[in-house]
Amino acid sequence: MGAEKVGAWLADFAEQIRENAAMLTDLDRQIGDADHGSNMDRGMKAVAALSPAAFADAGAYLKKAGMTLVSTVGGASGPLYGTFLMRVGGAWPAEESAEGIGAALRAGLEGIVQRGKAEVGDKTMVDALAPAVAAYDAAVGQGTQAALDAAAAACAQGRNSTTPLVARKGRASYLGERSAGTQDPGATSVTMLIEAAARTLA
């Protein structure tokens, strides 16, 4: 798989972020500091300005996209999303395969967990991404499209599960019990990333 397909993935995600930036910032206004949408929009605009064709392969492009997010987004989500893309890029398969893409997504999730130390139930993006990767693996025998569709559905379900939770990581944790009742902004944006993957990567 060349960098063009992966470029289409991140271009789709950038568009979702642009369209939903106000909504993401509004979620972050309720349990954070009202910058998640604007942070991600700034970063994904910089990523969308990269030219996938200019890179030797998809892995190199993804690593550069990750570094771009680290340097432009800031906050908690910049390093976390940046690490995700750098790890996905480092593990991206030379030959397209459902298993290879699954392994790359798992490497990305592991990077986020290593960096942020969040567990499922802490009300973060991990609540959406961890079940997405598990669902991908469970469906991997049915091929890339089926596995990505399963991942996107599980991601959305995980995102929805964050609403009643009390945050134990990130800025929202400062609110204690008052963080319950709002969907986590990072779980919301990461679901857009996996839904974009299901539209573009197979």
35 near Mg ion, judged by CB under 5 A: yes
Task: Pick what 124 binds: ligand ADP, Mg ion, none; C-beta below 5 to 8 Å, kind-dependent.
Answer: ligand ADP
Q: Build a one-symbol-per-residue string for 104-143: x at contacts with ligand ADP by CB under 6 A, - elsewhere.
A: --------x---xxx-----xxx-----------------
* 168 touching ligand ADP, by CB under 6 A: no
Which residue in 7, 32, 78, 79 binds Mg ion (CB under 5 A)? 32
Residue 186 contact among ligand ADP, Mg ion, none, beta carbon within 5 to 8 Å by kind = ligand ADP
Helix (H, G, I), strand (E, B) or coil at 35: coil
Which CB, 21 or 150, lies closer to Mg ion?
A: 21
Residue from 43, 52, 59, 75 in contact with ligand ADP (CB under 6 A): 75
45 binds ligand ADP (CB under 6 A): no
> How far is the C-alpha of 179 from the C-alpha of 187, rounded, in Å?
14
How far the first Cα of the chain sits from its last, in Å, is 10
Token reading at 107: 């490497």
Annotate each residue in 43-82 with x if it binds Mg ion (CB under 5 A) or - if it does not, as one string: ----------------------------------------
Q: Within 10-29, which residues bind Mg ion (CB under 5 A)?
A: 28
Residue 39 sits in the site that holds ligand ADP (CB under 6 A)? yes
| Nearest-angstrom CA–CA distance, 77 and 60 | 21
Asked if 47 is part of the footprint of ligand ADP (rule: CB under 6 A), the reply reads no
Q: Which of 108, 45, 50 is nearest to 72 (CA)?
A: 45
37 to 19, 76, 181, 198: CA distances (angstroms) = 10, 13, 19, 22
Integer Cα distance of 123 and 62 in angstroms: 26
CA 141, CA 45: separation in Å to the nearest integer?
A: 35
43 binds ligand ADP (CB under 6 A): no
Is residue 28 close enough to count as binding ligand ADP by CB under 6 A? Answer: yes
| Listed residue (78, 159, 77) closest to 123, CA to CA | 159
Within 10 angstroms of residue 174's Cβ, the number of other Cβ atoms is 12
Q: Which residues bind Mg ion (CB under 5 A)?
A: 28, 32-33, 35-36
